[in-house]
Each structure stands twice: as C-alpha cells, then as structure tokens.
Structure 1
C-alpha cells in the first residue's frame, strides 16, 4: 500500500493549536515542517502532501491553522534535509499561469532528484478570487481552464526531448535545439510558446495529483491524474468512488489502474482505545464549537442557525437532504441516521474524512481492512496534532503494517514515481537524466 502524510500547521483537528506542546504558529514556521519531513521519511512514507489556498478563505478568530507558507518553498527546504520521501505541493490552476507552474515544479523536481508532485486544484471562493480577479469564474470555466492548464504544463515538461542535452565538449556542442522545441500552444485560455528552461529529472516530470470529491474532479482525475487525494465515507463508498473514476479513465483510453486513490485518514492514537478516545474528547473540547457547526452546516447545505448542537437535524430538513455526494456526504449520511450535530462533529462529519481513533493495532486493522477490500491504494494520513500525532503513527502503526507485509520496510527507489509504482513518462530520457548529474 501507499501512505502519504498531510500536515496542516499544528494539526488536522481544529483544537490542535491549543493542545499542550503544540506550536500555534506552526503553519508559518519552517522548523516544524522540516521535522515532519524527517519523521515521515523515517517511517518510509511515500510522500508529504501539502494543501494550499492562496488567500485567507476564512476568519482566523476560531481556526487559525489554515494557510501555510507557499508549498514549493516548504518542499524545497524539505528536499535539502531528506533523501527519499516524495514532495507533493498544491498550486491553483485558477490563479496561476501554466509556464510559471511548469518551471517551478520542474525546479523542485530537479532539486529533489525526482521526488516532486504537483496537486493541481481549481481554487474557488469569493475571498480568494478577490485577490486576483474582479469576478470569480464559475465552476464550469474553472474546470475547463484546469484541463487546458494541465495539458500545457505537461507539454512544457515534455518540451525537452531525449537528446536535448548533447554536452559534447570536444565538438563544442552543448545542446540540440531541435530536441528542445517550442510547444506553440494556442487554446481557449492560454497562448504559450515554450519550451521550458530546464531538462527532465530522474523521474521525467513531477507526478500529477488532483484533489476533491466533486464529479468534475473525478472527470479531471480520470483524464489527467496519476494520484488522487479525496474524502471517503467508508470502505464500501470509497471502493465505489474509485471504481467510477477508473471506469471514466478507461473511457478516456487510459488503463483503469493508471492512478492511485489515496483518501484522507484522520488519526487519533493512544496506548489503548480508552486513551485514544479520551484524547479525541479533549481535542473536541479545545475546538471552537461554532466553527465546527458551521462546517457541518456547509456540508449539509444548511444555514448554521438551522442546527442545534445537541439535537439531530430537524426532521423536515433531514428528510429533504439530497442524495449524499461531494465533500458533505459524510455529514449527510450521519444526519440522515439521526445523529446529533455534536455526534456528527465527533464522528468526523465536519471534515468529511474517515477517522482512525484507537490503539495502534486498531488503527492498523482499519487501514488493512480498507486496503485488502480493494477500496483504496492507501491513505493520506492526517494526524490530529502534528508534533506528537505523526511520530505516534510512524513509530507504532507503520511497524504493524510492515510486519503484516502490506507496507514497505525500506524504500526501493529514490523517486516519487518509484515509491508510487508509476511508470516514467514517455518523454523521460536517460541522456537528459545523466546530464543533470544522476
């Protein structure tokens, strides 16, 4: 199986910043990120996955651990203190230009010797959009732009052919410009000449990720992704989602297994189940309840003032909830089952991600069950509190998975593609790789 880690500032629980020993400003300090990289590599995890929103999309009064430092800067620093672990960063296709993104991630891929990945997302939200445009693009426009954006970036990465760098010192020939060609792209959203300024890395080009739960993300993933970060309700639903996306990939002429399905998995660990449950309760008590209610309401498509913390969603509203789809479906399913809003929050309905709460053996059992059922290719682990939750997972859960023979005991390669079991792009060439010192 494959395991990534998704660190979010002090942690993935909204109460993490108040947890004893946590750094409430971790989202803006590089030291914590570097420690995450060292610990994750010690655990032989596939990659570090960094989300990003290029703007303040929510108030900081209740949940200050949102945006971090710019992902490629963090990952570049991580590359210097690690040797093997993959480095996946998010960059918006809505508020960037393809050439800049292609160049930035190519540079990260070369700096890290082939360990980079790009999570291409279609950023939305009026607060963020107002930093870039007068009017926020609609969903259809954002996804049309994203599809063309990814195609242009890939073309730029492929603009260096197999024999681009000649390096014939005797003849005085440095490069063959016939093999380093403009892409001359002229599309609906972009006009890009190319080529890019840098040769391929050891893995050819960065691994392309997409993230989300909408039908449009599924289609974009089926067309272009090599890995996907998403939210899952349970193993059965995750397996169904993966099957639908793989069927779409086949419809686009791709092999159904040409990408990895890696949903989020929020962990709360204790020496015993009782300790883990107590830790979760204490974190819940530190979290801002109104903020959590807001996120539940958003997932249900209801106004926050329609909900009461210790009551179920009112029956008329509950019966009118739509068929559960998208990021809010976890909350919808819990609401339809008659759980109180407080219980929906405690069961992970506010985040949309499955929870792993228990002793190491219990959490390992949960992971193994999903994996052996074919529901997932692995998980994107989301520790509740970063500074102690990630080491707990690496030191106590990973060894169990290794003993069971479902997770590596050491890296077998050096690139992210090798960790993920993905092939080199067709454009990758040994001469170019040799030329950059591999």
Structure 2
C-alpha cells in the first residue's frame, strides 16, 4: 500500500516567509498588503492538491528592523471568509489565541465559517505568549501553566457550544410544519476557574460536523494539549529526531 503525505501551505503574506523578499526587483510592493496575492496562492494550493491552508496570527507586533516585512497582521477569521469564498475544496486553519479571546464569540465565528465553507474550517488553537499582544488586547498574561489551564477550559467550552445543536434537530418537514426540534438544542452551562458561559449556539452542524482543531508547537505543554484536543498537530521541528520525539510524545498522551 502506498503512503500518502498530507501537505499544507502556510499563508505568510504576499511576499512569502522571507521577510526581505519584498526587495526582489520583480515584485510590485506598492500594492502591499495585496490580499489578491493570498487568494491566488490559496487557489494554486487547491489546484496542487494541498489539503489545507494555515493562517497564523501576529497582531500588534512591530518589527525593529525597518528593512523587513512584518508578520501576517490581517485578521485571520475575516481573511478565512474571503479565502473560503474563492476556493471550494481546500481546508482553512485560522489561528486564534485563547488568552485574549471569548469562547462564545470564537465558537460562533468558526461554526459560521464551517457552515459557509461547506465543512472546511479548522481552528488553530494557541494560548498566546506575547506580552506585547496581550497588552494590546488589554489582558493580563499568566505563566505557561495558567495559560494552558485556561486553554483547557476554553477549548472544552467551545466544543460543547459546537455540539449544542443536536445531530437530528433540523427537520425541515413542511407537511408537519416543523422546521426544527428545538428540544434537541442544548443550553450549555459551564463555569470554571477562568471562564464561564450559559447559552446555546443555534447553528446546525456543517458537512464535517464541527470545525477541526489544530495545535502547533513542540513543548511538553503543546504535546499534552494536542493529545487531548487536537485533530492535527503542527510540529515545529528542524531534525528528524525532533519530529520523532513529538510523534512519540503524542502517542503517549493521546486520548
């Protein structure tokens, strides 16, 4: 049996990952930021049989070197909506940090995008560890254990909200005049150390049920979180041995 490799494309802006690529004489830099270039890259990736696009998030980070292009500052959820409209098959993983986001808002946004895209959305869940970004959002950034403690609560709350609409709740029975059985739409009541929410998310499931969860990194905390919640792990490695260590770590903690 032949093996398959799943390939994703990191959407790093119009000039690619090299922060000095804008100096190439063939590039028209006056159109920056050129989101049309990102759309073209997404469409080419889809044509080339890539499985997903990966949108990082680097808000409020300003380079110290005037000769380089900064990180992808465009908001990834809004960008995902435009990319989804311009493509038809490829998956889209957008990064949102749990340290400065609201569970209900995130659950609603990703469920909406998942339905709109025909079941192609993924949430790249990260805790966020940049003090500069935390200050921009007006939140206190805890230490690593507390950030992951909050991330666990956050993720479980989001998953519960995504599941609040029962699988058979939508009826659309015109003869019986029953659009939906709203008794199957559950109100989620969850209160933890860091977060609380009481309510339902009345959005029917997409074709894939609910968005996929990504996680990226390689620390023990990353691996523990991914083993519990993630469908896809993006390992930040530079050697085969590092990749094997992450794989073995995931195998030991997967639930």
TM-score normalised by length of structure 1 = 0.55
Deviations 1:4-41 (A, max 9, x none): 00021111122222223335477733211110111001
2:7 to 3, 17, 40: 3
Deviations 1:294-325 (A, max 9, x none): xxxxxxxxxxxxxxxxxxxxxxxxxxxxxxxx
| 2:210 is equivalent to residue 212 of structure 1 | no
| 2:116 is equivalent to residue 116 of structure 1 | no
How do 1:248-397 and structure 2 match up within 5 A? Answer: 248-249=253-254, 254=255
Does the aligned pair in 2 maintain the 1:55–1:67 contact within 8 Å? no
Question: What is the DSSP-based 3-state SS (H/G/I as helix, E as strand, rest coil) of the residue aligned with 1:66?
Answer: coil
Deviation at 1:200, TM superposition (A): 0.6
| 2:232 is equivalent to residue 227 of structure 1 | yes
Unaligned runs of 5+ in 2: none
Deviation at 1:134, TM superposition (A): 5.5
Question: What is the DSSP-based 3-state SS (H/G/I as helix, E as strand, rest coil) of the residue aligned with 2:252?
Answer: helix
C-alpha separation in 1, matches of 2:104 and 2:197: 7
Bigger helix share: 1
C-alpha separation in 2, matches of 1:28 and 1:104: 24
| Structure having the higher Rg | 1
Aligned CA distance change for structure 1 residues 213 and 22 (closer, same or farther; 3 Å): farther
Counterpart in 1 of 2:42? 37
Bigger strand share: 2
Deviation at 1:224, TM superposition (A): 0.6
Question: What is the DSSP-based 3-state SS (H/G/I as helix, E as strand, rest coil) of the residue aligned with 2:141?
Answer: coil
Deviation at 1:127, TM superposition (A): 1.1
Aligned CA distance change for structure 1 residues 158 and 112 (closer, same or farther; 3 Å): same
Deviations 1:123-160 (A, max 9, x none): 12221111123632222211111111111111111111
Does the aligned pair in 1 maintain the 2:39–2:83 contact within 8 Å? yes
| 2:120 is equivalent to residue 130 of structure 1 | no
Counterpart in 1 of 2:24? 19
C-alpha separation in 1, matches of 2:146 and 2:65: 30
Does the aligned pair in 2 maintain the 1:26–1:32 contact within 8 Å? no
Question: What is the DSSP-based 3-state SS (H/G/I as helix, E as strand, rest coil) of the residue aligned with 1:216?
Answer: helix
Deviation at 1:244, TM superposition (A): 1.3
Aligned CA distance change for structure 1 residues 153 and 137 (closer, same or farther; 3 Å): same
C-alpha separation in 1, matches of 2:32 and 2:50: 21
Does the aligned pair in 1 maintain the 2:20–2:69 contact within 8 Å? no
| 2:206 is equivalent to residue 201 of structure 1 | yes
Question: What is the DSSP-based 3-state SS (H/G/I as helix, E as strand, rest coil) of the residue aligned with 2:161?
Answer: helix
Deviation at 1:59, TM superposition (A): 3.5
Deviation at 1:241, TM superposition (A): 1.7
Does the aligned pair in 2 maintain the 1:208–1:225 contact within 8 Å? yes
RMSD value over aligned CA atoms? Answer: 1.7
Does the aligned pair in 2 maintain the 1:28–1:68 contact within 8 Å? no
C-alpha separation in 1, matches of 2:207 and 2:140: 41
Bigger relative contact order (CA 8 A; separation at least 6): 1
Deviation at 1:57, TM superposition (A): 5.4
Does the aligned pair in 2 maintain the 1:212–1:231 contact within 8 Å? yes
